[in-house]
Amino acid sequence: MTFIFSFFKKRLYLHRVSVINRDLEIGRDYLENMSMPLQLEASRLVSIGPDIYQRDQRMIPGAANAWCSMVESAAADQVVLQAVSAFRSVDYQAGIIRKKLESGQCIQDILCVSAAPGYSEHHTGRAIDVTTPGFAVLEEEFEQSEAFAWLTEHAGRFGFSLSFPRGNPFGVIYEPWHWAWKDPGKPR
C-alpha cells in the first residue's frame, strides 16, 4: 500500500513540477536532456536558525543535526560557517526564476545558475548554501576563504559534499558555496 501511495504522490509531484516549468517556458526538451535528477520536496523540516538575512532556515532532521555539528566543529577551529539558504520549496524556486525573467535575463542563462523548479537539491532539505564573513555571498570567491578550505577538508565527516564542482556533469556553474548532506543510513 505504501508503494502505491508513493508512486501516486511522485506522479502528482511530477505533474505539478511540469505545469510550473511549462508556465516558466522551460522547455520539455531541456528537462529531458539535462542530467539533473528530479528532487522531491521534503515534508519534515526543522529549524537550523536564521541565515545571514535573519530568515529562519530549515533542513530535514538528519541534515540539520549534521549542519549544527559541523558549524560547532568549524567554530572550534576559529572558522565561521553561515547559512545563506537551505530548504526551498518548488514554488519558491519558481519565484526566483520569475524574478530573474522579469529582470530581463534569458531562461538559458538562468538555468546555468538556478535549477529548474523540481530539480533543485534545496527542495530535499539536504542542501545548504554557505558563506563566511568578509566574502561576497554566492560568489566563486568563497573558494578563497578559510571556510571553504575547512569544508573541503572536514565536511565529509559530517556527511556533506560539494554538489557542483568545476566541470560537473549537470551544466551548472561552479558553486563552491553549495553543499549537500547525504544520509549515511541510505545507499549513495
One pLDDT digit (tens) per residue for the chain, 188 residues: 455 557 778 889 999 999 999 999 898 777 777 778 889 999 999 999 999 999 999 999 999 999 999 999 999 999 999 999 999 999 999 999 999 999 999 998 898 889 999 999 999 999 999 999 999 999 999 999 999 999 999 999 999 999 999 998 887 899 999 999 998 766 54
Nearest one of 87, 53, 89, 72 to 181, comparing CA atoms: 87
pLDDT of residue 4: 56
Long-range Cβ pairs for the range 39-42 (8 Å, 24+): 39/115, 39/118, 39/119, 39/120, 39/121, 39/122, 39/123, 39/124, 40/10, 40/13, 40/123, 40/124, 41/13, 41/89, 41/90, 41/123, 41/124, 42/87, 42/123, 42/124, 42/125, 42/126
Single pTM value for the model? 0.90
Domains of the chain in start order, with CATH, are: 2-181 (3.30.1380.10)
Instruction: Give dist(CA 135, CA 144) in Å, integer.
Output: 9
pLDDT of residue 170: 83
